[in-house]
């Protein structure tokens, strides 16, 4: 039908689908391929093949296309199935490769971070026919999955918690999930003692404040207006510092550029978290490898 329209209006129809540029192959081979595991059984992939598999996964992440719609012919010289690409993505998720990859990049290039203050917030994503870590959320009037994120002072996401059902609010098991965020920073050799943390009133609870105090974090959390006795509370709240919290909204806007993250189609919570961490890696590498203007 599109071809007929093209003939009708004198347009040239391009039948070959070319991949969208996210990271060039040299950057992938230099920074990411060495972090991938070597298969213990079967044929071992070469460095170029590893890079091509990553490029195909990045294409899926950027465009939001279905796995079966991957234009594999654009990435591989030999016939390659979309099932094989997904197999590698799924296996690497099971092995925790994406989290180790992100922690390595974060620790190695932490000089690019602005840790003068960090921002905490949650993000709900709609789900399509997903059963694991998904639940109905009235605000979105749909099934959703919730993740907690930690970002730096320049709009760069640093860590993500495990996905939980969207029927839960941001304070659900907050001590455990906030601990996961801090564990990711500490694994990257980023000290949390002395950090200034911004969070909105949805995170105003005694459990989170006590955990921050235990870790040496200065919690600049807005007071929940619906809580009783707000006027009598003695916790310190810096409104000027709190204005920096908008940086995490900027980070979420950048993440929306990865179309596969707008609606969750990944069946397992593990793979959904993996896609988010891959987006962290791609955005961070684009930042640190960007040519500097003299």
- 230 pLDDT higher than 90: no
pLDDT at residue 199, rounded to an integer: 95
Q: pLDDT category, 293, cuts 50, 70, 90?
A: low
Structure tokens at 120: 């905490």
pLDDT over 70 percentage in the chain? 89
What would the pLDDT profile of 22-69 be if each residue is shown by its tens digit? Answer: 889 999 999 999 999 987 776 788 899 999 999 999 999 999 999 999
Please state the pTM of the whole predicted model.
0.89
pLDDT at residue 9, rounded to an integer: 37
What would the pLDDT profile of 94-124 be if each residue is shown by its tens digit? Answer: 999 999 999 999 999 999 999 999 999 999 9
pLDDT at residue 10, rounded to an integer: 42
Contact 149, 245 (CB under 8 A): no
What are φ and ψ of residue 205, in 5° steps?
A: -150, 155
What would the pLDDT profile of 130-182 be if each residue is shown by its tens digit? Answer: 778 888 888 777 889 999 999 999 999 999 999 999 888 888 899 999 999 99
Q: pLDDT category, 187, cuts 50, 70, 90?
A: very high
pLDDT at residue 228, rounded to an integer: 55
What are φ and ψ of residue 290, in 5° steps?
A: -65, 130
pLDDT at residue 291, rounded to an integer: 75
Mean pLDDT of 189-213: 94
DSSP state letters, 13-25: P--SPPPPPSS-H
d(CA 212, CA 210): 5
What would the pLDDT profile of 157-169 be if each residue is shown by its tens digit? Answer: 999 999 999 888 8
**What are the C-alpha distances in Å from 158 to residues 79, 106, 143, 182?**
37, 8, 26, 10
Give the angle subtended at the CA of 177 by the CAs of 276 and 239, to the nearest 5°: 90
What mean pLDDT is reported for the chain? 88
pLDDT at residue 7, rounded to an integer: 36
Mean pLDDT of 228-240: 74
pLDDT at residue 64, rounded to an integer: 94
Q: pLDDT category, 84, cuts 50, 70, 90?
A: very high
pLDDT at residue 22, rounded to an integer: 81
């Amino acid at each position: 039908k599109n071809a007929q329209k093209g003939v009708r209006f004198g347009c040239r129809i391009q039948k070959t689908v070319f991949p969208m540029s996210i990271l060039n192959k040299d950057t992938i081979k230099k920074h990411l391929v060495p972090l991938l595991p070597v298969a213990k059984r079967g044929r071992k992939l070469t460095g170029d093949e590893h890079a091509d598999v990553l490029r195909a996964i990045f294409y899926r992440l950027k465009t939001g296309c279905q796995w079966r719609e991957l234009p594999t012919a654009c990435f591989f010289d030999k016939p390659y199935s979309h099932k094989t690409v997904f197999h590698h993505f799924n296996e690497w998720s099971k092995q925790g490769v994406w989290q180790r990859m992100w922690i390595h990049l974060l620790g190695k290039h932490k000089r690019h971070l602005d840790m003068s203050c960090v921002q905490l917030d949650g993000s709900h994503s709609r789900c399509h026919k997903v059963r694991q870590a998904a639940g109905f959320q009235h605000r979105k009037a749909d099934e959703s999955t919730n993740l907690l994120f930690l970002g730096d002072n320049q709009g760069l996401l640093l860590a993500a918690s495990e996905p939980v059902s969207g029927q839960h609010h941001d304070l659900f098991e907050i001590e455990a999930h906030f601990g996961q965020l801090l564990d990711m920073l500490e694994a990257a050799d980023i000290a949390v003692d002395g950090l200034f943390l911004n969070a909105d009133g949805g995170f105003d609870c005694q459990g989170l404040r006590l955990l921050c105090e235990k870790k040496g974090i200065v919690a600049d959390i807005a007071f929940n207006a619906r809580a009783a006795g707000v006027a009598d509370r003695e916790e310190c709240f810096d409104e000027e510092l709190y204005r920096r919290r908008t940086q995490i909204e900027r980070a979420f806007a950048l993440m929306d550029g990865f179309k596969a993250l707008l609606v969750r189609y990944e069946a397992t919570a593990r793979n959904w978290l993996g896609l988010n961490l891959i987006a962290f890696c791609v955005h961070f590498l684009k930042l640190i490898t960007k040519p500097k203007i003299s």
